[in-house]
Structure 1
Amino acid sequence: MIKIFLLSAIAVCALAAEQHHSHDQTGDVITKPAAVDSTPGPVTVTPAGAVRGSWMDSRLGRRFQAYRGIRYAQPPVGELRFQPPVDMNTYTSEVDASEEGPGCPEPVDSTVYYVDEDCLRLNVYTPENNSSRKLPVIVFIHPGGYYSFSGRSDLFGPHYLLDRDVVLVVINYRLASLGFLSTGDSVAPGNNGFKDQVSALRWIQRNVAAFGGDPGQVTIAGCSAGSSSVVLHMISPMSKNLFHRGIAMSWSPMGKEPLPSHQLDLAQKQASFLDCPTNSSRAIVDCLKTKTWQEIGYSLNTFWDKYGFGFDPISFWTPVVEPDVGQHRFLSVQPDEAVRSGQFSAVPLLVSQTEDEFFWKAFYVTRNETLRDRMNAEWENIAPISFNLPEKNFAAASRRLKAVYLGGKPVEDTPERNKALGKLYGDSWIGLNAHRLANLMCRHSPQPVWYSVFSYIGNRSFYEDPVTGKPAGVAHHDDTIYVFSQSYLRPPIQARSPPPPAPQDHLMVERMTAIWYTFAKNGNPNPREGELPELSSLDWPVMNPEDRKYLKVDLEFSVHEKLHEKQLEVWDELYPMKF
């Protein structure tokens, strides 16, 4: 059994893979039913060279062009492993982008889901590649805790957004140790996964006009790890002038403590898993370069086996503030300091979280007697792992959080305790970071910030009750269900939904894609007069430091103030941050 959980999609992925997919001899996932289209694929001639794609049909039946698996950087193999990406500037022959490329290595069955180290690829989707009218560009950076998921079309597909007049680009970047190894010195200063994203953004600036996109109107969007990436691009000097708006869904790098300057401990652990020496950075990297990508990628689960608690922590890897060892630094200053001092690219920004985020993590603990008993017996040692608490004063912080969230009571499989523990998981990993991002930006950015919470419970979710098969809340990633087709995980939402339980799902797709479209086009999520009737009831105010209004996205739009601020007071008490 594959232990990786794709940040909440374990059961859903496995079920969807069995019910909806087969695979060809290359391991590429084929979604059934797959219509055979004998029409020659479209060709786009870019400054880098000619690229041949394929045809797809949107949710509402619009035909559009798809160019998948395009290399934006040289394959990061051999001596390029653990090195910054090398941009792909030209192609020596026509690029066949008619089929899906690989995802980056992670411990999945490669005969079912195609992964490979040669994964610095992107997908481009466009309604028209030779129009004189250049369209706004949306670049999506996928979630996954910096160790899972991919930008492939079966996970984050274009079939909803391409009913709008946008060019969509979805990118891969290196994951886990292959992307974020950081020894704190010149051997591996770190952040290569983010530098991959920068390389992709540079490729887009050079080439997207050929696909009908406007390189002067680029919106970067991301969820979870992708959301944190969006914020870091706002701060990184490497990303300056490569984008013009941002959408940050459910995470940010503004957390409980400053970012580290290295993660040498993770590098040493990775080395030890593969019988490599751990006595120096050079010895670690030189030895890991002799290992296959399968040995490195498939060893990911060992981090949880040896150093985790169940599937906690949710992520091991983090951005690092790179030491200056002569390299181009992606990040050289703490994110919150950068915002307070104005050292960032100020762009219009949407910040959001879901209503319940990681609420389902409680069930994994309370419904497993061994984990439940261990968490209760060793609370002060387990809480820092499960809730990502800094080492300093972790015992006192653990006790304080238990008092506030659980009333000092043990964890149990009851509705009340599950809800309380679920809130603790959600706030510790997502709620606090989103709150701090929105509050910092609305105070210090000269550009507008809009804040929202996604509260709609539809027909599907990244967590579905194992008994009823229905959503039990609004989980982490659930907002992406209404922006992207996700054929590897679930059937598509049709243009007109079937009868209950969720006849409104198709309307939520229309609303969410309309918000993204008008924001990408105009830098404001509110439609202009007479445009987008699906948003006719939307009046989303800009967030300001005084009343801190936010939008609740549900069957109806509604505006409220001070999102979850009361329940987050304990975090500000334990880990103060100056706004």
Structure 2
Amino acid sequence: MARIFFLCVSLFVCVYGHKQDDIITESASGRFVGSLMTSRRGRPIHAYRGIRYAQPPVGALRFQPPVPITFYPHEVNATLDGPACPQPADPGYFVDEDCLRLNVYTPGVLGKWSLPVLVYIHAGGFYSVSGRSDVAGPQHLLDKDLVLVTINYRLGSLGFLSTGDEHAPGNNGFKDQVVALQWVRANIASFGGDAGRVTLAGYSAGAISVALHTVSPMSRGLFHRAISMSGSPFSQIPFRCNLLHLAVQQARLVDCPVTSTAELVDCLRAVPWRVLGDSLKGFQEFSIDPILIWTPVIEGDFGQERFLPEDPLRAIRAGKLRSVPYIVSQTRDEFFWESFLVLNNSIYRTQINEDWYKVGPEAFLLPAPSDRSARALRAQYLPARRLENTAADNAALGRLYGDAVIGFGAHRLANLMAYNNKEPTYYYEFNYIGNQSHYVDPASGKPVGVAHHDELIYLFSLPAGFQEIPVSDSRDSLMVDKLTTMFYNFALTGNPNPLLDDCASPVWPPMRPDERQYLQIGDHFSVHRNLFENRFRVWEYLYPIEYNLTKS
């Protein structure tokens, strides 16, 4: 049903008791009251925020698969953001276990219907961030004719507890994402979106999620294009059948028994959500590492619907990859800034020098047995001496952090898709240093690299941490136009070209196994070959796989 505008005379209330700027949409599921926002270029946005897509995962529903909401018996107030899922947060920030919410943003222009839909899965290592408008605002993308949906999913132990048995099979955070996508399929037409033209995009942990949805039987038919920015489930990190070691660690952090998985889960179900959310530091072993703690698991069959019933590589080999147009990316420097945290701290610097074979596997996510890998990576990346707090040593250690946490995985995902995806796969490197960054030099306050998350500054408004980018002829303003145009084109047609409406922009070719081209996004677009492959050779040697999994 089309949106209904209730025009109220000043100082009077509408017959339904709504404010003058309330927007109302009805779908088969219910009636939603939204609010007006404004895009970067002054276009009206109809915003519906904080919509529950599943029952609150509290009490007996904690550690259970999500229970979808398919009908809303009462009018839904969607005028404000819902809470972020439990995580460490500043005092006063809206966090709550009743967090399975989504936001829908659609252009406030009458007559614009059946628009492409972009569903965004947020970053945060599976233990932080959210889809709220302060960290994933619509003001940049909604200058384009598309519908944007941002979602929350359960985090940390609340979302990914896995004991490997019937008490906690695991992957509930991913199942939350599936239910959110089902909500989009059922409702998005009423918000102006085309349910047959959904692009699933994610960053970091969200990018890992997107790749897994291409092989999960639960996600079949729920999206039609995919974007994985700076994240991949395919790397040096093996897939596990459970995360029992993390479940035990979580239990001990909050004084729960570990004598049996049944007792462990029952006890954790009664622990206040804030205590669980605030326990993140208890999982850190060195500096802020490991940067990735909870990971997807291959679920055993205990009668539940399984998000990952088999190893994703085996699923691809069996022809179960759902081929869709795909964009894969990484930034130039990714987690380079972690080297500053280590080398600028005398305790951490001593640890990494004197206990490399313990610290290295934690920092660089190396699976056991790790001595051979730690030795080879040190020889490849670092000088044959003690590391010091110098520019050269920070650069070397920063490259190792970036490649270990993100770079090699993105490389592996792009190559797997180039070989096995029957639709085009596009690969890009974000290589732009603007006025703002997720890491700035403490002394100068200016960016010194292209950090993990940095293109999000131009795709989304991020008022929680960054200044607004005004419309101007500045480099940063042009970058907003570049990225939003590229993403809009891809959501519309499955092809990101043309990159800009000018003759100077190159055509971005799909990546092929025999010609591994990628787009470098900086002040200008340019096409290159073999992104960082000289660095990734050591990783391929240490963790070899066959890329052409579907060959006859």
Going from structure 1 to structure 2, the CA distance change for 1:377 and 1:88 (only over 3 Å counts) comes to same
Residue 353 of structure 1 contacts residue 454 of structure 1 at CA under 8 Å; is this kept in 2?
yes
User: What is the aligned residue count?
Assistant: 530
Q: Structure 2 matches for 1:492-503, cutoff 5 A?
A: 492-496=468-472, 503=474
In structure 1, what is the Cα distance between the partners aligned to 2:305 and 2:170?
11
The residue aligned with 1:336 is 313
- Structure 2 residue 391 is the aligned partner of structure 1 residue 415: yes
Residue 329 of structure 2 contacts residue 410 of structure 2 at CA under 8 Å; is this kept in 1?
yes
Partner of residue 283 from structure 1, selected from 248, 257, 263? 263
The residue aligned with 1:397 is 373
Partner of residue 199 from structure 2, selected from 210, 215, 219? 219
SS at match of 2:533: coil
- Structure 2 residue 357 is the aligned partner of structure 1 residue 376: no
Q: Which runs of 5+ in 1 are unaligned?
A: 1-36, 498-502
- Deviation, structure 1 residue 338: 2.3
In structure 2, what is the Cα distance between the partners aligned to 1:491 and 1:109?
19
In structure 2, what is the Cα distance between the partners aligned to 1:450 and 1:346?
13
- Deviation, structure 1 residue 546: 0.4
Residue 506 of structure 2 contacts residue 527 of structure 2 at CA under 8 Å; is this kept in 1?
no
**TM-score, normalization: structure 2?**
0.94
Partner of residue 53 from structure 1, selected from 31, 34, 45? 34
Q: Percent identity?
A: 52
- Deviation, structure 1 residue 327: 0.9
In structure 2, what is the Cα distance between the partners aligned to 1:131 and 1:96?
24
Going from structure 1 to structure 2, the CA distance change for 1:404 and 1:132 (only over 3 Å counts) comes to closer
In structure 1, what is the Cα distance between the partners aligned to 2:434 and 2:266?
49
In structure 2, what is the Cα distance between the partners aligned to 1:337 and 1:526?
33
Q: Which runs of 5+ in 2 are unaligned?
A: 1-17, 548-552
- Structure 2 residue 334 is the aligned partner of structure 1 residue 363: no
Deviations for 1:503-524, whole angstroms, at most 9, x for unmatched residues? Answer: 3000000000000000000000
SS at match of 1:332: coil
- Structure 2 residue 56 is the aligned partner of structure 1 residue 85: no
Matching residue's letter, 2:470 = Q
SS at match of 1:65: strand
Partner of residue 47 from structure 2, selected from 41, 44, 66? 66
Matching residue's letter, 2:484 = T
- Structure 2 residue 84 is the aligned partner of structure 1 residue 103: yes
- Structure 2 residue 20 is the aligned partner of structure 1 residue 39: yes
The residue aligned with 2:225 is 245
- Deviation, structure 1 residue 257: 4.3
- Deviation, structure 1 residue 310: 1.1
In structure 1, what is the Cα distance between the partners aligned to 2:352 and 2:160?
30
In structure 1, what is the Cα distance between the partners aligned to 2:304 and 2:329?
34
Q: Structure 2 matches for 1:6-405, cutoff 5 A?
A: 39-111=20-92, 113-128=93-108, 131=111, 133-304=113-284, 308-392=285-369, 394-405=370-381
SS at match of 1:568: helix
In structure 2, what is the Cα distance between the partners aligned to 1:386 and 1:203?
38
- Deviation, structure 1 residue 204: 0.3
Partner of residue 533 from structure 2, selected from 565, 568, 571? 565
The residue aligned with 1:526 is 497
Residue 130 of structure 1 contacts residue 211 of structure 1 at CA under 8 Å; is this kept in 2?
no
Matching residue's letter, 1:196 = D
Deviations for 1:24-76, whole angstroms, at most 9, x for unmatched residues? Answer: xxxxxxxxxxxxx9633100001110000110000000011000000000000
**Cα RMSD (Å) of the superposition?**
1.4
Residue 69 of structure 1 contacts residue 101 of structure 1 at CA under 8 Å; is this kept in 2?
yes
In structure 1, what is the Cα distance between the partners aligned to 2:266 and 2:386?
47
- Deviation, structure 1 residue 346: 0.8
- Deviation, structure 1 residue 490: 0.9
- Deviation, structure 1 residue 574: 1.1
Matching residue's letter, 1:352 = S
Matching residue's letter, 1:431 = G
- Structure 2 residue 433 is the aligned partner of structure 1 residue 465: no
- Deviation, structure 1 residue 206: 0.3
Matching residue's letter, 2:172 = N
Matching residue's letter, 1:145 = G
